[in-house]
A and B are shown apart, each in its own frame.
Chain A
Amino acid sequence: MPDDLNQQQPAQQNSPPGQGNAAAAPPVSRELKQSGLNLWINRFGVYVVAILFILVGIILFGGSFFNSKNFLNILDAVTLLGMAAVGVAFVTYSGHFADLSIPTTMALSGYIAIELIPLGMFMSIFTGLLVGVGVGLVNAFAVGKLRANPIIWTLAMAYVTKGVVRWVWLNKQIYPDIKAGIGNEHLADAFINLYRIRIFGSISITVIILIALVIAAQFLLKRTKFGQQLKVTGSSYDVARLSGIKASRVVGTAFLISSLTAALTGIFITSLGKVGAYYNGEGYDFNAVTAVVIGGMTLNGGRGDIIGVLGGVFVIGLMRNIMTLMGIDTFSQTVVQGIVFITVVYINARSLRKLGRDDA
């Protein structure tokens, strides 16, 4: 792109003061403008893709796609994924790829929440979230402190948690109304209605929570000490450690956040399905990472933000919705989503290498 040549750039003093002569003239001709477009695409590209999907939807299906009811459908379908993805984003940003233990964390938190319905809504939700804290602390210690491989460790964690669930509840599903017991029907109803609360008559409580989570997480990532240190850690663990950052604690916190949002999501999934089941949350591990990566967080860590991840979640929602309207079955959708994931990772790696950012 020779038109990017910026010959008029004023000479920058590139030699130690007092030694500049004609021959030491700074390399003006090497100065190029950093392409703003590239950076812009890096940042907001995912929303452009989302808009493209919407256009495709309108072209293919017109009114049956572009109406408020369908959009509410899309939104409902992705809010739960969004919540989980926000948490996983911290793990990816920390340079530890993904948290594969979130599906079973979701299932376990759902079981626990239902078990504690007799003690009231607060205890039910609170204890459900405690499951997230518990799993998160174990992951934090193993990956943050002991430097276990995050993929292998969280995979093992998922396996163990699943085993615990099947062993304790003997592979049975549990139901809020039965667990609440006679006389406590109102508590069971409260739990089941948790997911169905609508604010201002139409906006689902999960949408409100997702928006709150996104704002809080974006703030945490970009405007706090933790977020900044997570960025350095995600870019290089050793560099972070030698920059006075308690890298193991920072990484551990990322895993804790991931488990906590997973537990929260798990409670809502359980409320939505009115059942505590070991398969609750299945598929959320890969879906969440896909959303995170489509949203512009590279698997290398240290790059991207939560607003982008939200965009990634929308794109997945739109993609699925359009495929459903096209009559593509769920299994084929999974294949398509897998291919999209691979493509995005490939394009990411490729464009970063082109930009000279590849330091692997």
Chain B
Amino acid sequence: MSEAEQLGKAIEMKDVSKQFPGTIAVDTVSFDVQAGEVHALVGENGAGKSTLMKMLAGSFNDYTGQIFIGGQQVKLHSPSIAKDEGIEMIYQELTQALPISIAENLLVGRLPRKKGFLDKKRMVEESKQLLERVGLGDLDPLLEIEEISQHQAQLVEIAKALGNAPSILVMDEPTSALSRDEVALLFGIIHKLRDEGLAIIYISHHLPEVFEVADRVTVMRDGKRIDTRKVSDVTTSELVEMMVGRKMEEMFSKRVRTPGKEKLRVENLSRYGFFHNVSFSAHEGEVLGIGGLAGAGRTELARAITGVDAIDEGEIFLDGKQIRIKNMTEALEKDVGYLTEDRKLFGLALRLTVGENILSALIPRLVKNFVFSSKRGAGKMKSLINELNIYPPDPGRTMSNLSGGNQQKVLLAKWLAIEPNVLFLDEPTRGVDVGAKVTIHKAIEKLADQGNAVIVVSSDLPELVGISDRIVMMRKGHMIGEIPGGEATEETVLLAANGEGRYVNAG
């Protein structure tokens, strides 16, 4: 690293730690990034990556250890200090589907003025310059943010960060919502910025990306730094080993399951503008996959069937009897459940405890003679916490103190607690680590093995292919075909999702 050292360390963290009640999220970690370097930070959920980066963003004023920027010791005790020190963050969840223009968003807080009034011409010019740096020179800066694509919005976010002339750029899972072409574009921009001398910290679950984009990689596990290596000196399987602390193993056990009789049937279901004339059926003891690209109408379909959203047309049959589910309460009465794709917004009450969340869909069943007792659900809660390896295994722990993977397990536990006969799982393992993924998949398979119909919506192709007994494909709001489990591969599913291949129905 001698040649990199000459460029100097843009940032250096020495033995930093941060405690939360109940956990040491970051445990004496040392970490540095050179100017003109892309440094990837990898680790499972809960490994402490996000906390480490929040420390850089100035979210905590009670961390211990030292942080140096350009050789000078700094105390990053507030977000504004971090910004002044030239640190810019680009988060995984974009917070900007806003009805304001790109230019206003880019230059927020420092809009150019002339005699006290907005200088629109300069605003557009300055915005154009920033947009050019991220390859969006052609975009009209006066367009509203909600009118541009997610990919463009992401680049705008980067442009906005660049506008503050940062020396350190932190990107948290920037590719989670992008297509392959868009990812390649983004990487080009990252490399350009690196060559301009920026220090870039790149957080990702996606190891192939790390090899493509980064110069060095640091692995974290359980709040500690495991190792920092040059990307050229390390292999994928070595990284995985460091991340999970064990060898990579077969994630999906292909099993033979014989689905029983039809449990749920949907005929010509429509929710205008979202999906149209959708028909399919799910059987007892079957994991039915619903494949398709983002925006194909899969989430909307699951939400409509379970009564969250209204249905405009069509019929639903449960056990051969026609039913109409008007809201989630009625769905639950029929033992039908829906695990949402957005656990923070719709899935979990983050202020409540793990136990309260697990029992939250079960409340009416824990009432006897008008008296509620959580003790009636305690046994079930304990066994679910054990079965899903929820950590820490403490029902009294506040939800927001758990890592993402463990939050997802609690969300699953909440729906397993109602003992569903039909369970819709929308992106059941989004953003969780390998270990949690295995646990969740085992639980899904067990639920199907017990004779229930499980319907999985997933954009994770290996997952969809690995877990489903059968996959129905949606595209642009229509059911376009079906792939038998034995013939499903990542390639066939991807082809079908794009409306091609032999599993797509003619017409």
Contact = CB atoms under 8 A, between A and B. Distances in A.
Interface string B340-356: 10000111111110001
Given A21-B246, A303-B351, A14 B391 contact: yes
Looking at chain A's contact residues, is the secondary structure mostly helix, strand, loop, or mixed? loop
Contact of B222 (A30, A231, A235, A246): A30
B92 interface: no
A243 B394 contact: no
Interface in B346-405: 346-352, 356, 359-361, 363-364, 366-367, 370-373, 389, 391-394, 396-398, 400-401
B21 A238 contact: no
A224 B329 contact: no
B222 A35 contact: no
Contacts of A201: none
Nearest to A35: B21
B428 interface: no
Contacts of B328: 241-245
Task: Count chain A CB atoms within 10 A of each CB in B338, B349, B373, B389 and give the residue with the most.
Answer: B349
A209 interface: no
Interface string B1-33: 000000000000000000111111101000000
Contacts of A35: 21
Interface in B199-246: 222-223, 241, 244-246
Interface stretch (A176-184, A320-328, A351-359): A351-359
A19 to B, nearest CB: 6
A325 to B, nearest CB: 40
Interface stretch (B124-132, B188-196, B435-443): B435-443
A225 B372 contact: yes
Contacts of B364: 225, 244
A166 to B, nearest CB: 41
B271 interface: no
B332 interface: yes
Nearest to A26: B391
Interface residues of B, number: 58
B394 A34 contact: yes
A14 B21 contact: no
Interface in A1-56: 12-16, 19-21, 23-27, 29-35, 38
A25 B246 CA distance: 10
Contacts of B340: 242
A300 B331 CA distance: 29
A128 interface: no
A12 to B, nearest CB: 6
B476 interface: no
A228 B352 contact: no
Interface in A316-339: none
A78 interface: no
Contacts of B439: 16
B21 A355 contact: yes
B419 to A, nearest CB: 13
B361 A357 contact: no
Contacts of A69: none
Contact of B401 (A33, A239, A356): A356
Contacts of A27: 222-223
B246 A19 contact: yes
A228 B363 contact: yes
B370 A224 contact: yes
A218 interface: no
A358 B25 CA distance: 16
Task: Count chain B CB atoms within 10 A of each CB in A34, A242, A358, A359 and give the residue with the most.
Answer: A242
Interface string A228-254: 110110011011111111100000000
A246 B330 CA distance: 10
Contacts of A225: 363-364, 367, 370, 372
Given A32-B21, A239-B349, A356-B21, 13 more contacts: A16-B442, A21-B246, A23-B246, A29-B222, A222-B372, A223-B371, A228-B363, A239-B345, A246-B329, A300-B351, A302-B352, A355-B21, A359-B350
3 A-B pairs with least C-beta separation:
A235-B349, A27-B222, A23-B245
17 contacts: A16-B435, A16-B439, A30-B223, A32-B22, A225-B363, A227-B372, A235-B350, A239-B348, A239-B360, A240-B349, A241-B327, A242-B340, A244-B331, A246-B327, A302-B349, A358-B400, A359-B350
